[in-house]
Structure 1
Amino acid sequence: MSGLEKLLAGLAVLPFGLGFALTADQSDADDGTVVFSFSDPAIIESSGLVVEQGLFATVNDSGDSGRVFTVDPADGSTVAVTEWDGEPEDVEAMAPMPDGDVLVGDIGDNNAVRDSIELLRVPFGEDGPVDPITYDLVYPDGAHDAEALLVHPDTGQVMVVAKEFIGRLYAAPEKLDKDDPNRLEMLGEVMPIATDGAFFPDGEHFVLRGYGSATFYRWPSLDEVGEIDLPSQPQGEGIAVGADGAVYVSSEGADSEVLRIGLPKALRAELDGTTAAPDRDVETTEDPAADDETDATRPFWSWALGGAAGVVILLVLLRSLRPR
């Protein structure tokens, strides 16, 4: 598919996605509990979140140097900046490793032109310069943009989620090779436009987030076990799961907040392993009224509005491409 064809395809579906986002805002999402706000003026595009040892870590989005900020939630202050030489291309994510290190994902590729993506392994919470171990990853089916990076808490296997309208989960070999490219394997389809993800401590569940919602999965079956609307955020691009299973979300923006979000009882029970797996066709939320709103029953006006906008955009673009 040519670059122009990709652009046209993206524009055709983007307004429908916007229509979905408009209706998602109408639901009764949990507002979350503010844990802290980033107070470091250098943290302006938090993209990716890790919680370890009572501290939080984040990285800035593309355009920053190679560094990780470790933050004390007591006051939001930065207590360590882990730095390394080199010019990252597009850092978008982080994930904790089983041994306590952190994996930084230089995995962004908005134009889908990179031959490979890069992971950097650095010690958690170390202040000052470090010499990271780097790994190159190669997709089996061409370049993809990605913002979600996951690491299995037991095996250490690395996974990357393509940020596309058909989300796909890719897995690296369980043992990464630091000398040669590591070929990814596509495991299955997951939520579209994922901006981050994290495993739960049990290694049997993981969560992916988008800008307005989060979807929970079983591992390794990739069965969905629940979906929730997330609190409104300027540009939500971070999610982390604590050792106790608590779920935290973060957003880009200066002085942005990190929130702890509540989960419906049935979903929490599934994640804690205290109940039988819920039927895939049964809503997992506590509020019976929430059963009334599914993707199929979202207000028609939003889909119509998105569709109409898509037609207008395509007509304008096609007109501009006519020979003059």
Structure 2
Amino acid sequence: MSDLMWDERAGGIVAVVLPASGTVTIMRWWVAVVVVLAGVVALPAPAGAAGRHRVCQVRDDRLTELSGLAATGSGYVVVNDGSDLASHRKIFYLNAGCAVVRTLSYPSRPRDTEDLGIARDGTLWVADIGDNDAERGTVGLWRLAPGARAPVLYRLSYPDGAHDAEALLIAPSGTPIIVTKSVAAAGVYVPVRPPTAGRTTPLRRVGRVALPVTTTSNPFSFAGRLVITGGAVSPDGRFAVLRTYADAFEFDVSGGDVVAAVTAGRPRAVAMPDEPQGESVAYTTDGTALLTVSEGSDPVILRYPLPGRLAVASPSATRAPPSSARPSAPESARVAAAGHDKDVISFGAILTGAILVVGALFLILIGALRRRR
């Protein structure tokens, strides 16, 4: 497998190490790297990091691979990503001080839980969608209705082959939306019908997300700005956020159409520099700030305020449906033409001139990132 060497001061990739048996020479990889990077014009690091502060630190040996986070009225809900330890494969409830107060087991073994979200009716969705090697025939969503004793598994299948994904968005309608971890332009997928337990529901591709480029520092340098690792929708349904290892990008949602917002809207960037391995993002229950947590031992929940944002009441804290409630119809597939201003540079525009060689670079980047869940 190929390895990368990164140097932030040098602007990214400084060396590519290939196995001795590789059929592609270092020179050919360097050509691909130079061509792509020559066309990249990075935006300055966005504002936002200056106001962040530590909320609390998680001190539990079971919580070392945190990949999903949601806020509740009394604390937080978190999940690890794929783990070989049964003690880690649970839904964990934390109090306001980040101490574990309750756990909930899955009725069967999940494969790779990467994100979670709470719908407006209080339903918890856990996204079992990780697939580092892109080999799964189906992915899963675990649905925990208010008052239920165990989550229910819904299996889903992509229309165009396996994908690795780490981001889940729950639309105001209750529709789950999966955003893949594809390099450059992530795919956006929704179920073709309300998911049903006991059978596989097809997914439908409804668009793609092309995020702006920044220079925000992070442990993975250039590669860390290329992939989406988490997502969330605000409690009032008016905003949606997607994050990379370096930044969060918030979109305005009109009429509850989250798909249109993330595929055609212009995002506002919030810098999240130098998080150890940031894979989670959530809104506070009043919608005035973003919360994040990284993988690793004794992780810290961080809070990033959203200036000028008015506090809202969390719908999930005020009403909850019977446990038999079903998810709503799929989110709209309407995707308007993207209208980014001139100062926002999408990945699609940046990589157009290097399309013939960019595949080779992506293989290197993916190989490096897959070793980091």
TM-score, L = length of structure 2:
0.63
Secondary structure of the equivalent of 2:302? strand
**1: CA distance between counterparts of 2:277 and 2:76?**
19
1:155 paired residue number: 173
Q: Does structure 2 conserve the Cα–Cα contact (< 8 Å) formed by 1:91 and 1:105?
A: yes
- Select 1:84's aligned residue among 106, 117, 120: 106
Secondary structure of the equivalent of 1:189? strand
**2: CA distance between counterparts of 1:172 and 1:157?**
8
Deviation at 1:28, TM superposition (A): 7.3
Per-residue CA shift, 1:123-168, capped at 9, x if unaligned? 5798xxx43211011111111000001111x311000001011211
Secondary structure of the equivalent of 1:184? strand
Q: Does structure 2 conserve the Cα–Cα contact (< 8 Å) formed by 1:158 and 1:174?
A: no
**2: CA distance between counterparts of 1:125 and 1:242?**
22
Q: 1:249 to 1:185 in 2, by over 3 A?
A: same
**Structure number having the greater strand percentage:** 1
2:7 paired residue number: none
2:228 paired residue number: 194
Deviation at 1:260, TM superposition (A): 0.9
**2: CA distance between counterparts of 1:157 and 1:38?**
31
- Select 1:247's aligned residue among 277, 284, 290: 290
1:291 paired residue number: none
Number of aligned positions between the proteins: 269
- Select 1:102's aligned residue among 106, 120, 124: 124
Q: 1:263 to 1:14 in 2, by over 3 A?
A: farther
Q: Does structure 2 conserve the Cα–Cα contact (< 8 Å) formed by 1:157 and 1:173?
A: no
**1: CA distance between counterparts of 2:173 and 2:102?**
28
- Select 2:165's aligned residue among 135, 146, 150: 146
1:229 paired residue number: 271
CA-based RMSD: 3.7
2:333 paired residue number: none
1:281 paired residue number: 341
Q: Does structure 2 conserve the Cα–Cα contact (< 8 Å) formed by 1:93 and 1:196?
A: yes
**2: CA distance between counterparts of 1:163 and 1:14?**
24
Q: Which amino acid aligns with 1:255?
A: D
Q: Which amino acid aligns with 2:177?
A: M
Alignment of 1:98-137 (within 5 A): 98-122=120-144, 130-137=149-156
Q: Does structure 2 conserve the Cα–Cα contact (< 8 Å) formed by 1:105 and 1:149?
A: yes
Q: 1:76 to 1:243 in 2, by over 3 A?
A: closer
Per-residue CA shift, 1:89-117, capped at 9, x if unaligned? 11111111333231111100011111110
Deviation at 1:263, TM superposition (A): 3.0
Q: 1:39 to 1:216 in 2, by over 3 A?
A: same
Q: 1:125 to 1:49 in 2, by over 3 A?
A: farther
Q: Does structure 2 conserve the Cα–Cα contact (< 8 Å) formed by 1:30 and 1:262?
A: no
User: Once structures 1 and 2 are overlaid, which stretch shifts more, 169-178 or 158-167?
Assistant: 169-178
Q: 1:123 to 1:255 in 2, by over 3 A?
A: farther
Secondary structure of the equivalent of 2:144? strand
User: Once structures 1 and 2 are overlaid, which stretch shifts more, 235-244 or 188-197?
Assistant: 188-197
Q: Does structure 2 conserve the Cα–Cα contact (< 8 Å) formed by 1:158 and 1:173?
A: no
**2: CA distance between counterparts of 1:214 and 1:103?**
21
Q: Does structure 2 conserve the Cα–Cα contact (< 8 Å) formed by 1:215 and 1:224?
A: no
**Percent identical residues:** 31
**2: CA distance between counterparts of 1:39 and 1:199?**
27
**1: CA distance between counterparts of 2:56 and 2:176?**
29
Q: 1:28 to 1:77 in 2, by over 3 A?
A: closer
1:238 paired residue number: 280
Q: Which amino acid aligns with 1:69?
A: F
Per-residue CA shift, 1:209-263, capped at 9, x if unaligned? 0100111223332212312211421000111112311211111111111111023
Q: 1:120 to 1:33 in 2, by over 3 A?
A: same
Deviation at 1:86, TM superposition (A): 2.4
Q: Does 1:38 align with 2:58?
A: yes
Secondary structure of the equivalent of 1:30? helix
Q: 1:176 to 1:256 in 2, by over 3 A?
A: same
